[in-house]
Structure 1
Amino acid sequence: MSEPAMPEGTLDARYSDPRAEPSRWEEVREALDTAQTYWLTTVRADGRPHVTPLIAIWDASALHFSTGEREQKSRNLAAHRHVALTTGANALDEGLDVVLEGEATRVTDTARLEHLAAAWLRKYGEVWRYEVRDDSFWHPGGGLATVYAVRPAAVHAFRKGPTYAQTRWTLD
C-alpha cells in the first residue's frame, strides 16, 4: 500500500536556528519506520496522563501498536482515543525526535492483522511472533492483545544540532 504525498512541513522559526530548513517528510517517515522503541501517551479517565514505552510498526501511513486488555493504556483508550506517540534520540545535540498526534483506532480486519503480525516479526524477531485470533493478536507469553492504528493528525519533528529545526505537519 503506497503512502499519500505529505504536505510541506512548516518550520517554526521561534525554535529553529536562523539557517535551518524544514525537516523533510522522508527523514521523519524513516525515523517512524525504523525506531525500535516509542513512547505512548494516553489520558486516564480522571484526566491524568499515562506514558509508557512500547514497540510499534509504521505501515500504510499509520503507526500501529498493541496492548493487552488489562493494561492501563487499554483502559485509557476505552475513554479517550487521542494519543501521542514519540520516538527519537536520547541526546541533546544530535538526532531527530518525532511526535505523532492522532486518534487510536482499533484494527480488527483479519487480513490486515495478519499483515501487521508479519511486519512485527520482520522488525522485532521471533520473540514478537503473533497469531491472529478473535480480531486481535495472540502471543503465548501474554495472551490476547488489541491492535490500534494511529493516523497522524499532526507531526512534529525536532532536529538537533548543529542546526536545530522544529518542523510541523498538520493533516486532515
Structure 2
Amino acid sequence: MTDREPTTVTNLDQYGSPALPWSRPRDELANSPADRDTPYFLGTARPDGRPHSAGIGATWHDGALYFVSGPGTRKSRNLAANPACTVSAHLATLDLVLEGEASRVTDRPTLERLAAVYRDNGWPAEVDGDALTAPFTAPSGGPPPWYLYRLNLRTAYGVASAEPHGATRWDF
C-alpha cells in the first residue's frame, strides 16, 4: 500500500491559521517508530455499543498504520465484530486522530516486512503462521500469537501543538 493524498482538506482553525498540509502528520508518523515514547490509543466499540480504548504499539510503514493485538483481547474481539475504529496519537508537533477500519493482515510477505520493521525498532517479532510472535509484548497485548492489523484510513484530524499552528480535517 502506498501513501494516499487526501481527497478533501477542511480548515478547522478558528484563529485564522491556514489548513495544515497532510505531509506534516504523514512525515511525523513515518518518523515516529524510532520514538518508543509516542503514545498511540486504539478506540473501538464493544458489541453493546459502549466505547473501549487501549494503548497500542503502532508503526507507520508504506503509507499505512499497523498495530498488533492478541486474538483474545477486548480490542481484537471488538474489531472482529466491528472493524470501525480510531487511532489517536500525540506526535512531536501535533495531536492526531485517525479514523477508519482495521483489517487483519494475514499475507506472509506483509507479515515478514512488518516483523522486520518491529525488529528494527527493538521488538523481536517473528512470523508464526498468519500472525506474529516474540518473547514478550505489552502487558495489554494478550498471549502470543498476535494479530497484525492495518488501519484503512478514511478521515484524519490534526491540531498543531507547535508552529505553524492550525487545525485540519483530511478525508481520504
Bin of the TM-score, shorter chain as denominator length: 0.7 to 0.9
How far apart, in 2, do the equivalents of 1:34 and 1:72 lie?
29
Could you tell me whether the CA contact under 8 Å between 1:67 and 1:147 is conserved in 2? yes
What does residue range 100-139 of structure 1 map to in structure 2 within 5 Å? 100-122=98-120, 124-125=121-122, 128-139=123-134
How far apart, in 1, do the equivalents of 2:83 and 2:58 lie?
17
Helix, strand or coil for the counterpart of 1:144?
Answer: coil
State the shift of 1:62 in Å.
1.5
Residue 80 (structure 2) aligns with: 78
Instruction: Establish whether residue 68 from structure 1 lines up as the match of residue 63 from structure 2.
Output: no
Runs ≥4 in structure 1, deviation > 6 angstroms?
none
Counting matched residue pairs gives 161
What is the TM-score of this pair, normalised by structure 2? 0.85
| Structure 1 unaligned regions, length at least 5 | none
| Structure 2 unaligned regions, length at least 5 | 33-37, 137-142
Residue 11 (structure 1) aligns with: 11
What does residue range 26-45 of structure 1 map to in structure 2 within 5 Å? 26-35=23-32, 36-45=38-47
How far apart, in 2, do the equivalents of 1:164 and 1:17 lie?
9
State the shift of 1:16 in Å.
2.9
Could you tell me whether the CA contact under 8 Å between 2:5 and 2:22 is conserved in 1? no
Give the RMSD, CA atoms, in angstroms.
1.9
Helix, strand or coil for the counterpart of 2:148?
Answer: strand
What is the TM-score of this pair, normalised by structure 1? 0.85
How far apart, in 1, do the equivalents of 2:73 and 2:54 lie?
11
How far apart, in 2, do the equivalents of 1:45 and 1:65 lie?
21
Residue 56 (structure 1) aligns with: 58
